[in-house]
Amino acid sequence: MSTFVLVHGAWHGGWCWQKVTPLLEAAGHSTRAPDLPGHGDDPTPIRDVTLDAYARRVAEVIDAATPPIVLVGHSLGGVVITQTAELRPERVARLVYLAAFIPSNGETLGALAAGDTSSRLARRVTTAHPDRSTTVNDDAIEPTFYGQVSPDDVAWAKERLCAQATAPIVTPVATTDNGWGRVPRAYIECTKDQALTIGYQRKMQADHPCDPVLRMDTDHSPFLSTPEELAGHLLSLATD
C-alpha cells in the first residue's frame, strides 16, 4: 500500500485534508498531512518561513514514511512538492498536482501566478503586511477558494486560515532533469477553480506534461467540497 503525503497550499494548513485522510486510510493506505512552517499549529515565525524550509519539512516527512510514497500538492503546494522531489527523487513514486502550480527551473511562484490574469487572486484580493506576509480579504475567501463548499465548512476553514509568508512566493525553484524531472507526475484538474483557473492549469500541463490527467468539476478546494470524489482519484493514483 502507498503512503500519501498531502501538502496544503497558501494560507492553509494540514487541517484542510481532514475529510480526505480517513477515506484513504479506510482503503488501507497511510497518510501524512503536515503543517508547513508557519501554518496550522506550526509556530515558525513569518521571518523564518522560506521555500527551502517548506521543502525540507516535507522531505523530513517523506524520510520517516513507508514507501511507495505519493506526494500530493495543492495550489502553492505544487511548488513545494516540486522542490521536495528535487531533494528526494528516489523516495517519491509519484507526484500529484491538485489544481496546483508546476514551476519551471528558476521560476518563482509569484511570476508564475502573475500569468493567470483571470484568477480572482490577480484582482487584488489580498492584503500585504509589513512583516512580509499576505492575507486574503474576508469577502474574497469564499468565492475564491470555497465556491462549492457548505457554509458550515466555509466558516470552519476561515477560522483556520493564516498569514502567508511572501518569501516562498518570490524564491526561484531549483530543479534538474535528474531530480524532479525523473519523478512520474499526474495532474488533477478543478474546472470551476477561481483561484487557479482551468485555462492556466492546462497551460502548465502543456509546459510540463502529466500522465494521467484527471478532471473534477469543482472549485479550488475539493478536499472540502467533494472529498469522496477526490479520494477516489487519489486512490486510482496509488502506486502499490
pLDDT of res. 107:
98
Number of structural domains in the chain: 1
Residue 135 sits in a domain whose CATH number is 3.40.50.1820
Domain interval for residue 53 = 3-236
Whether the per-residue pLDDT at 106 is higher than 90: the answer is yes
* Angle formed at CA 191 by CA 212 and CA 167, multiple of 5 degrees: 85
Question: What DSSP string describes the chain?
Answer: --EEEEE--TT--GGGGTTTHHHHHHTT-EEE-PPPTTSTT----GGG--HHHHHHHHHHHHHHSPSSEEEEEETTHHHHHHHHHHH-TTT-SEEEEES---PPTT--HHHHHHT-TTSGGGGS-EEEETTTEEEE-HHHHHHHH-TTS-HHHHHHHHTT---EESHHHHSPP---TTTGGGS-EEEEEETT-SSS-HHHHHHHHHHS--SSEEEE---S-HHHHSHHHHHHHHHHT---
Span 175-217, pLDDT tens digits: 999 999 999 999 999 999 999 999 999 999 999 999 999 999 9
Confidence band, pLDDT 50/70/90 cuts, at residue 233? very high
pLDDT of res. 146:
98
Query: CA of 16: how far to CAs of 7, 88, 146, 160, 202, in Å?
Result: 10, 25, 12, 9, 24
pLDDT of res. 122:
78
**Do residues 33 and 22 make contact, with C-beta atoms less than 8 angstroms apart?**
no
pLDDT of res. 126:
87
Which is nearest to 201 in space by CA: 183, 215, 180?
215
pLDDT of res. 84:
98
Whether the per-residue pLDDT at 219 is higher than 80: the answer is yes
pLDDT of res. 240:
66
* Angle formed at CA 14 by CA 9 and CA 16, multiple of 5 degrees: 75
pLDDT of res. 159:
97
Which percentage of the chain shows pLDDT scores above 90? 95
Span 15-47, pLDDT tens digits: 999 999 999 999 999 999 999 999 999 999 999
Q: Is the whole-model pTM more than 0.85?
A: yes
pLDDT of res. 152:
98
Average pLDDT, the chain: 97
Whether the per-residue pLDDT at 124 is higher than 80: the answer is no
Give the mean model confidence (pLDDT) for residues 209-227: 98
**Do residues 39 and 12 make contact, with C-beta atoms less than 8 angstroms apart?**
yes
Whether the per-residue pLDDT at 137 is higher than 70: the answer is yes
